[in-house]
Amino acid sequence: MARSRELVLALLAILAITGLYAGYAQAVSVPAASGLIGHSLGIVGFLMMLMTETLYSLRKRAMRRPRGSMRSWLQFHIFTGLVGSYLVVLHSAWSFNGLAGALTVMTIVVVGSGFVGRYIYTAVPRTADGVVIEAQELQGQLDLVRREMAMAQGAGAAIPSGTARHQDRRANRRLREIERQMAALRWARRVLATWHAIHIPLGMALFVMAFVHIGAAVHYATLLR
Amino acid sequence: MRRPLGCLTFSALIAAVLVVLAIVVAAAATGNGIFSPGRLSSVAHGGAVGGVASHAELEGRCEACHAPALSGERMGDRCLACHTTVTNEIASGGGLHGRLAASAATCRDCHTDHRGATAALTLADPRVFPHEQTGYSLAAHSLSGRGVGVGCRECHPASPVSYSAPTCVGCHQGLDAPYMTAHLAAFGSACLNCHDGVDSYGKTFTHATYPLTGGHEKTECGACHKQATTLAVLRATSTECVTCHAAKDIHQGRLGSNCAECHSPAGWTGATINHDRTRFALVGRHVGVLCESCHVERHWTGIGTTCSSCHAKDDPHRGQFTGDCAACHAATGWKDVTFDHAKTGFALTAGHAKPACAACHAGGRYVATPTTCNACHAKDDAHSGSFGKDCASCHKTTTWTDATFDHSRTQFKLTGAHAGVTCQKCHIGGLFKGTPTACSSCHAKPSSHTSAFAGSCSTCHSTKAWKPATFNHNQTHFKLTGAHVGAACQKCHTSSHFSDASTACSSCHAKPSSHTSAFAGSCSTCHSTKAWKPATFNHNQTHFKLTGAHVGAACQKCHTSSHFTDASTACSSCHAKPSSHGSNFTGSCSTCHSTKAWKPASYNGPHTFPQRHGGAGGVCSKCHPSSWTSYSCARCHSNKSMIDKHKGRSGFSLTTCANANCHPTGGGD
């Protein structure tokens, strides 16, 4: 539960928003995209998506003057990504015409992609601070165990002592565990790289479309009204 | 250097470029249709507007509605450019858009598009639509609330912008058919003429401006609001009772138009009349009397307002007075008599005010009571009838004793001292009538007057006082003038007989000795009554008129004796011949002298020789140096040349030049 708190919060927020939205739609009508509520949904949702895209990325690269833990920013990233995109979808007023419709679809696609990416990402081993354990560190640990094994065999030439056998077994378990971790890390990094190669262009396409959509809305619905 | 954002990868930038290209291509291909938020409406309303039947025909022609940016033109301007009907409504202020004060800037408040082919273009929220601006409020036709709401289509079945009265009628017939039938009959079917949606004329209408109570509660509206087919006429309905009830006024307008003063809407009967409104206000003992006392058998009209209408039987005067009782009696009570006796012509003043009426009106007889004093006061006559019956000629109504007789009404007006004399001085013994008017009847002739004054006393005396007596002497033959005016009567009237005095001056004025017999004439020849002296004599009436220096000369200068008449008129009788004249001047003095003055004398006699010869200028001594009878020319002609000239002439002398043989006129050689 604690590990997926942001998901719970996002779910609660989405449920609350859905309730308000449904209530308004029932009492009045589905908020038009161009109305006060519709525009508000779009603007807030877009800003949250923009924060999703930028703040976590900036934090990851802010090594000299970090603010907050990486985990907190990731939680915020996930929360805004889910809630913001949901608001944007509501902003569409369930109309999927032209660029705006494509933008809505793209939003759903990118959010889904991000959701998948999140689980790939969490599969990558990390320290408490979330820093990926470098392969060298794993290899160092393996070498240490193997040295311990060799030392144990040299000391008890004929019959290894009970203590040495015990250490050997433990070292072997540790070795196999580390080897599995390394294999999983390699797999995860490959998958993550692949996911990045897909997700990031999609996200870029999404934001380009969003800005064009905003520009068109301002142009037609504000400047030309 | 690390990328600030993880998204700025090569592939991401490629994707961005590709997306932009895709958008540009799509926009070009669709005529910017990809930016359309939705399909345009294909719903057609009537004929073509702006060349198209519906907005759907404008798909891909964004500029048809969206004016170029920064052009100054709004989208609303393009709406009105095509929808000229709306434009005309706005311009005229009529129609739906005119009444809503719509403009190009407010088109979007109600209208939109891009909501799909079949979506409505009008998004006006009926719950907030300012329906009252159309001239009809929805206050009584709420769209929601109060249980049952009224939908737009219920009143606007054909179109939200159209309305027809039958729609109202149809609905309200369903609510109360009998009422609506009567209502339509009374007020017509032009509902909006009166109803604006706020007034709620109908079942909930309180008629507060004129609360309907009593009989008015059941009255049909049209009974009062006749022919009221507009709100203005409806509200202008008079609230005066007579407006509706005049035709049934049993008082025939006699009691005015305010029925409510006596009647209430509860019913015509049970009126609480304010009797003051009638011609007979109830005052005094009339207040509280039972109505039926006067309105016998409840006859409310035609009772009459005279006292006798009700009180004829109460008349104690037995019909003596034909006038109204109220002339004497007040409504407070019969005994409260306030009779103005002055109206009878016999005002009760002073002593007459106090006695009881019966003192004069004996036996209750009021009419034809005589007004003469004697009628009542005959027994009081102290004069025993000697003055007749008109006591008021002397007496007043105050008391008998303060009689004030106007003696001027008699033949003997009281003037002067007579005015202050007591009556008894003349009217001795109380006798007034027949008193003689002669002075002597009261005033005895004094002994001093003897028989000389046989005439009337008033010839000399006035009523002002006996003395001083005054006599107008001018009525005699001898008018008093000058010093005679102030002279005492006895100066001339030396005897007791005034009439025997002579008018001759000498009868009073003795002739002075100085006058001797020379003044035989009348004294008045020289004297006037002004004064004896100075006496004046008009000398011009004599043969010797006084002229020149004679005028101012004293009389005695010439009249040396006491006889004035013996004076000579010759000059020499007064003026002695001077020695200088010698024997030369034998003629009359007046030859040379005038009465103006002795000198200068001037010769006026014959003088053959020119008196102005040789510059003599009339100066006698020029030629007559020594004697008037001789002359000498030597004063001027004694020069040697003159002597030489006359050499050889015999008899030449400068004292004989004027001889007839020589120079008789002073001229010649």
Selecting from B15, B16, B75 the residue whose C-beta is nearest the C-beta of A224 gives: B75
CA atoms of B441 and A178, how far apart (whole Å) = 190
Distance of CA B333 to the CA centre of its chain: 48
Q: Is A34 on the interface with B (CB under 8 A)?
A: yes
Position B18 scores a pLDDT of: 92
- Lowest-confidence range among B132-136, B153-157, B385-389? B385-389
Question: Would B68 be classed as within a structural domain?
Answer: yes
B93 compared with B433, residue with greater pLDDT: B93
Question: Which pLDDT does position B145 carry in this prediction?
Answer: 45
CA B70 to chain A, closest CA, distance in angstroms equals 8
DSSP run (H or E) holding B513: none
What backbone phi and psi angles, to 5 degrees, belong to B466? Answer: -65, -45
Question: Does the CB of B38 have a partner CB in chain A at under 8 Å?
Answer: yes
A191 at the B interface (CB within 8 A)?
A: no
Per-residue model confidence (pLDDT) at position B4: 56
All residues of chain B having their beta carbon less than 8 Å from the beta carbon of residue A61 are 2-4, 6
Report pLDDT for A132. Answer: 46
pLDDT band of residue B21 (cuts 50, 70, 90) is: very high
Per residue, the 3-state secondary structure of B609-634, as one string, reads CCCCHHHCCCCHHHCCCCCCCCCCCH
pLDDT-wise least confident of B14-18, B274-278, B445-449 = B445-449
Q: Does pLDDT of A16 surpass 90? A: yes
Which of B37, B67, B68 lies nearest to residue A100, judging by beta carbons?
B37
CA B478 from centroid of its chain's CA atoms:
64
Distance from CA of B203 to the nearest CA of A (A): 33
Q: Is the pLDDT of residue B611 over 70?
A: yes
According to DSSP, residue B289 is labeled S
The mean per-residue pLDDT over the stretch B636-658 comes to 78
- The span from the CA of A216 to the CA of A170, in Å, is 65
Helix intervals (H) in B344-427: 357-360, 373-377, 423-426
Domain that holds residue A71: 5-132+198-223
Assess if residue A69 is contained within a domain.
yes
Higher pLDDT, B215 or B583: B215
Contacts with A, B 255-314, CB within 8 Å:
none
**Segment B490-522, tens digit of pLDDT:** 888 877 667 778 888 888 888 777 776 667 677
3-state secondary structure of B397: coil
Q: What angle do CA B598, B604, B608 make, to 5 degrees?
A: 140
The confidence score (pLDDT) of residue B451 equals: 67
Contact A220 B66 (CB under 8 A): yes
Residue B433 lies in a domain: no
The predicted pLDDT at position B479 comes to 87
Nearest to A98 among B3, B13, B35 (CB): B35
Q: Which range, of B2-6, B299-303, B387-391, B652-656, averages the lowest pLDDT?
A: B2-6
Look at the alpha carbons of B590, B594, B597, B600 in this order and tell me if their dihedral is positive or negative.
negative
Contacts of A109 in chain B (CB under 8 A): none
- Mean pLDDT for the stretch of residues B607-612: 80
Residue numbers in A near B112 (CB within 8 A): 32, 34
Coil, helix or strand at residue B403: coil
Strand partners, B330: B333
CA distance A88 to chain B (A): 15
A88 pLDDT exceeds 80? yes
In a domain, B82, yes or no: yes
Whether residue B139 contacts residue B197, with contact meaning beta carbons closer than 8 Å, is answered with: yes
Kind of pairing between the strands at B333-337 and B329-330: antiparallel
Shortest Cα distance, chain A CAs vs residue B54, angstroms: 20
Q: How confident is the model at residue B161 (pLDDT cuts 50, 70, 90)?
A: confident
Residues contacting B608, CB < 8 A, separation 6+: B658, B664, B665
Residue type, B186: A
Element (H, E) at B540: none
Q: What is the DSSP string of B199-237?
A: S--STT---TTS---GGGGGS-HHHHSTT--SHHHHHT-
Q: Quick check: is B87 in a domain? A: yes
Three-class SS state of B421:
coil
Task: Report the gap between the CA of B127 and the closest CA in chain A (Å).
Answer: 11
Give every CB contact of residue B72 below 8 A, 6+ residues apart in sequence. Answer: none
Mean pLDDT of chain B: 81
Residues of chain A contacting B4 with CB distance shorter than 8 Å: 58, 61
Q: Which residue in the block uniquely carries the two structure tokens 């007006």?
A: B413
Distance CA B276, CA B282 (A): 7
pLDDT over 90 at A17, yes or no: yes
pLDDT at B88: 93
Q: State the average pLDDT over residues B340-351.
A: 84
Q: Each residue of B467-494: pLDDT tens digit?
A: 777 888 888 888 888 888 888 888 888 7
A32 close to B (CB below 8 A): yes
pLDDT of residue B537: 82
Range A108-117, long-range pairs (CB < 8 A, 24+ positions): A109/A202, A110/A85, A110/A199, A110/A202, A110/A203, A110/A206, A111/A81, A111/A82, A111/A85, A113/A195, A113/A198, A113/A199, A113/A202, A114/A81, A114/A199, A114/A203, A115/A82, A116/A195, A117/A192, A117/A195, A117/A196, A117/A199
Which residues neighbour A43 within 8 Å (Cβ) at sequence distance 6 or greater? Answer: none
Alpha-carbon span B66 to B61, nearest angstrom: 9
pLDDT digits 0-9 by tens, B403-453: 778 888 788 888 888 888 888 888 877 677 778 888 888 888 777 776 667
ipTM of this predicted complex?
0.76
Please indicate whether, in this complex, the C-beta atoms of B6 and A33 are within 8 angstroms of each other.
Answer: no
Interface test with A, best of B2, B14, B35 (most A CBs within 10 A): B35
Give pLDDT, residue B146. 42
DSSP B502: -
In a domain, B139, yes or no: no
Instruction: Give the count of domains, chain A.
Output: 1
pLDDT exceeds cutoff 60 at B164: yes
Angle (deg, nearest 10), helices A162-217 and A36-61:
140
The 10 Å Cβ neighbour count of residue B19 is 21
Residues 48-77 of B with CB under 8 A from A: 62, 66-70, 74-75
Cα–Cα distance measured from residue B201 to residue B140, given in angstroms and rounded to the nearest whole number: 10
Closest alpha carbon to B226 in B218, B215, B234: B234
Amino acid present at B67? A
Residue A159 lies inside a defined structural domain of this protein: no
Provide the pLDDT confidence category of residue B1 given band limits of 50, 70 and 90. Answer: very low
Per-residue pLDDT reduced to its tens digit, A140-187:
766 776 677 677 666 554 455 566 567 666 666 766 776 777 677 777
Which residue in B1, B2, B3, B7 has the most chain A C-beta atoms within 10 A of its own C-beta, making it the best mutation to test that interface? B7
By CA distance, what is B67's nearest residue in A?
A: A224
Subunit contact B35:A57, Cβ cutoff 8 A: no
Residue whose pair of structure tokens reads 């004996």 in the numeric block: B362
Share of chain B above pLDDT 70, in %: 94
- Flag whether A144 is in a domain: no
When comparing pLDDT for B25 and B457, which is higher?
Answer: B25
Q: Which comes out higher in pLDDT, residue B212 or A128?
A: B212
**CB-defined contacts A:B, below 8 A:** 89
Q: Is B173 helix (H, G, I), strand (E, B) or coil?
A: helix
Instruction: Write the single-letter amino acid at B389.
Output: K
Cβ neighbours of B67 in A, within 8 Å = 224
Token couple for B641: 């040349």
What residue in A sits closest to B24 (Cα-Cα)? A212
Tell me what pLDDT residue A168 has.
61
- Choose the final residue of a domain: B124, B155, B183: B124
Of A146 and B39, more confident: B39
Q: Would you call B115 and A209 a contact, using CB atoms and an 8 Å cutoff? A: no
Q: Do the chains contact at B62 and A220, CB–CB below 8 Å?
A: yes
Q: Is residue B608 part of a domain?
A: yes
CB burial readout B85-115, b (16+ within 10 A) else e: ebbebbeeeebbbbbbebebeebbebbbbbb
Question: pLDDT tens, B240-275?
Answer: 888 888 888 877 777 777 888 788 888 888 778 778
Q: Is residue A145 part of a domain?
A: no
- pLDDT of A1 reads 47
- In chain B, the number of structural domains is 2
Residue B668 structural domain: 601-669
CA distance linking residue A43 with residue A47, whole number of Å: 6
Chain A residues within 8 A of B20 when measuring between CB atoms: 208, 212
Measure Cα distances from B573 to B561, B567, B568, B591 in Å. 13, 8, 6, 16
- Token readout for B1 is 């250097």
Residue B449: CB atoms within 10 Å: 12
Q: Which of B11, B39, B108 sits opposite A225 (nearest CB)?
A: B108
**Whether B34 and A99 lie within 8 Å, measured CB to CB:** yes
What are residue B284's phi and psi, to 5 degrees?
Answer: 60, -135
